[in-house]
Amino acid sequence: MTTYTLRNASPAKTKADVVIVGVTKGDKGPSVAAGGEDVGAAYARKFRPLLAIIGFTGKAGETAKVPTSGTINAPLMVLVGLGDAKQLTPAVVRRAAGSAARSVSNAASVALALPADSAELVRAVTEGFLLGGYTFTDFKRDTKPQSEKSSEVVVLSPVARQGEASAAFDRAQLVVEAATATRDWVNLPANALNPVTFADQVVAQHKELTKGKGAPEIGIQVWDEDDLAKDGCGGILAVGGGSATPPRMVKLTWSPEGATQHVALVGKGITYDSGGYTIKPPASMVSMKEDMAGAASVIQALFLIARLNLPVKVTAWAPMAENMISGAAMRPGDVLTMRGGTTVEMTNADAEGRLILADALVMATEEKPDAIVDIATLTGAMVVALGEKVAGLMGTDDVVADLRVAADVAGEAVWPMPLPDEMHERVRSSKVADLAQSDWVRWGGGLFAGAFLREFTDGLPWGHLDIAGPGYNTGGAHGYMAPGGTGFGVATLVEYVAGLADLT
């Protein structure tokens, strides 16, 4: 068990194993950042020479461990660079707190003395530190799960006693729990998480969350392969047809009394993407357990929205399938009939995400929500366009604008991409079916996918997040990111719904 407290106290006098202090880079060299002033004062004129002797510059992400030898109460100080003193944004502080977390992994008690003089910064420090401490050790024989370690985290803040700051602190911990649960699901390899066990785990978590007095009421419905057939979900069935494990769809409903708005969230849940008969090259296949990150994020976002008791009706739709090869797998050239009757000429078995999303989007639109947001590790083309850390955002102007604001508050990078008329024509270019699933033109592949999804939104306000890049960290740890699942999108979706709640 880890305990978390927000406190207004002097970092020099705080009793903890470690105190974390920020260092910024300025015109006159590095200096102690806001929040760590008392520590700087305890060192007095020895602080700068200390930085100089260990070669600490204050560059963002830089860390150093310094034994304090009685200068302050904590025996160890961890310095973390915050970069340019004039650009101290919440995003910078969030990343630095994450870097610091990774260098104190053994400490039982930690006090954070980073810039935290606003609710926004309290949130950034807390989220960054807690996410930065994440590790995935389910399959490491000799590593204890983190939940069994006991520790204490104290976030020091001059505004600790203000309601807004303590609310931000509590909220940050819940956001981290949701993002962590998302990371855990994404990190489970495909032999440990298939469509059936994924759906089972959602059912189990739902049961846990809704049990007992005062627990939120959340509806749940699971479609098995027969239900999907009865409901005409030809996309999900075709994609899941090649797997030894049948597909599923999970719907969660949060419907608080008095809600005047309804948002539908739809997430891609491919537990493994081999590419099917349009098989992927070997190296591209290795990380494809990540292909259910969208589904994981909409489920965890809905759970969190319910825990926060946000006054907006939210439904989460998670189509789940494994894209494999067998005698029952879909063949390029097949014509599929989607939920609602639209036919699609399937020409690329590796463009499977849009097929399962189409059925789920149609189901979502049938309830006439006020807005739909889908999130999916959808296209490599979006990674080529925006890199691995920025999500592509498409959709109708209103939802796109709201999602940009939400992502900004949440500290997640998204960038708007267009849906040009040309794509509309390409999506309608099939000679045998209503729509073409793909046309084998590489250019603008992320936009083609967006335009394809739009066909299934019934003209409703809609946003589409392509998280093929930021949903999964293929590199090493950096900032508050661990290797593997990132939990990207959860915070943005929750912030988006919270933003709508503010308007009611």
Residue numbers at the binding site for ligand BES (CB under 6 A)? 273, 291, 348, 350-353, 377-381, 383, 438, 445, 468
| Count of residues of this chain found to bind Zn ion when the rule CB under 5 A is applied | 4
Question: Given the complex with ligand BES, which of 210 and 348 has the nearer CB atom?
Answer: 348
Contact assessment for residue 344 and residue 335, using Cβ atoms and an 8 Å cutoff: yes
Contact assessment for residue 298 and residue 377, using Cβ atoms and an 8 Å cutoff: no
Residue nearest to Zn ion (CB): 273
Q: Which residues pair with 440 in a beta bridge?
A: none
Should residue 240 be labelled a site residue for Zn ion when binding is judged by CB under 5 A?
A: no
Nearest to 123 by CA among 176, 193, 179, 77: 176
Contact assessment for residue 76 and residue 66, using Cβ atoms and an 8 Å cutoff: yes
Amino acid code (one letter) for 372: I
Question: Given the complex with ligand BES, which of 43 and 277 has the nearer CB atom?
Answer: 277
Contact assessment for residue 96 and residue 85, using Cβ atoms and an 8 Å cutoff: no
Question: Given the complex with ligand BES, which of 11 and 485 has the nearer CB atom?
Answer: 485
- Residue by residue, what is the 3-state secondary structure of 263-323? EEEEECEEEEECCCCCCCCHHHHCCHHHHHHHHHHHHHHHHHHHHCCCCCEEEEEEEEEEE
Instruction: State the minimum distance, in angstroms, from the CB of residue 323 to Zn ion.
Output: 6
Instruction: State the minimum distance, in angstroms, from the CB of residue 362 to Mn ion.
Output: 20
Question: Given the complex with ligand BES, which of 369 and 392 has the nearer CB atom?
Answer: 392
Question: Given the complex with ligand BES, which of 19 and 338 has the nearer CB atom?
Answer: 338
Indicate the length of the chain as a whole number.
Answer: 504
CB atoms within 10 A of CB 135: 16
Distance CA 448, CA 420 (A): 9
Contact assessment for residue 504 and residue 260, using Cβ atoms and an 8 Å cutoff: yes
Q: Out of 38, 291, 374, 412, which residue is the one contacting Zn ion (CB under 5 A)?
A: 291
Distance CA 200, CA 194 (A): 10
Read off the tokens for 423: 């794509």
The shares of helix, strand and coil residues in the chain, as percent rounded to the nearest 5, are 40, 20, 40
Q: Out of 38, 62, 184, 273, which residue is the one contacting Zn ion (CB under 5 A)?
A: 273
Instruction: State the minimum distance, in angstroms, from the CB of residue 351 to Mn ion.
Output: 6
Instruction: State the minimum distance, in angstroms, from the CB of residue 353 to ligand BES.
Output: 5
Q: Verify whether residue 354 is a known catalytic residue.
A: yes
Q: Out of 353, 469, 470, 484, which residue is the one contacting Zn ion (CB under 5 A)?
A: 353
Stretch that binds Zn ion, among 118-126, 133-141, 269-277, 449-457 (CB under 5 A): 269-277
Residue 381 contact, options Mn ion, ligand BES, Zn ion, none, Cβ 5-8 Å cut-off depending on partner type:
ligand BES
Q: Residues interacting with Mn ion, by CB under 5 A? A: 273, 350
Instruction: State the minimum distance, in angstroms, from the CB of residue 446 to ligand BES.
Output: 8
Burial zone of 243 (CB within 10 Å; 0-12 exposed, 13-18 middle, 19+ buried): buried
Question: Given the complex with Zn ion, which of 376 and 481 has the nearer CB atom?
Answer: 376
Instruction: State the minimum distance, in angstroms, from the CB of residue 291 to Zn ion.
Output: 4
Structural Rg of the chain based on CA atoms: 24
Residue 379 contact, options Mn ion, Zn ion, ligand BES, none, Cβ 5-8 Å cut-off depending on partner type:
ligand BES
Question: Given the complex with Zn ion, which of 202 and 293 has the nearer CB atom?
Answer: 293
Annotated active-site residue in 59, 280, 404, 428: 280
Stretch that binds Zn ion, among 5-13, 42-50, 187-195, 270-278 (CB under 5 A): 270-278
Instruction: State the minimum distance, in angstroms, from the CB of residue 249 to ligand BES.
Output: 18
Nearest to 91 by CA among 64, 118, 125, 119: 125
State phi, psi for 273 to the nearest 5 degrees. Answer: -120, 95
Stretch that binds Zn ion, among 51-59, 74-82, 99-107, 290-298 (CB under 5 A): 290-298
Q: Which residues are within 8 A (CB) of 401 and not within 5 positions of it... i.e. 6 or more apart?
A: none
Residue 100 contact, options ligand BES, Zn ion, Mn ion, none, Cβ 5-8 Å cut-off depending on partner type:
none
State phi, psi for 359 to the nearest 5 degrees. Answer: -60, -45
213 in helix, strand or coil?
coil
Residue nearest to ligand BES (CB): 380
Question: Given the complex with Zn ion, which of 38 and 322 has the nearer CB atom?
Answer: 322
Annotated active-site residue in 248, 251, 354, 426: 354
Stretch that binds Zn ion, among 247-255, 276-284, 340-348, 352-360 (CB under 5 A): 352-360
Residue 93 contact, options ligand BES, Zn ion, Mn ion, none, Cβ 5-8 Å cut-off depending on partner type:
none
Nearest to 110 by CA among 16, 13, 237: 16
Specify the pairing of strand 313-323 against strand 269-273.
parallel
Q: Which residues bind Zn ion (CB under 5 A)?
A: 270, 273, 291, 353
Catalytic residue IDs: 280, 354
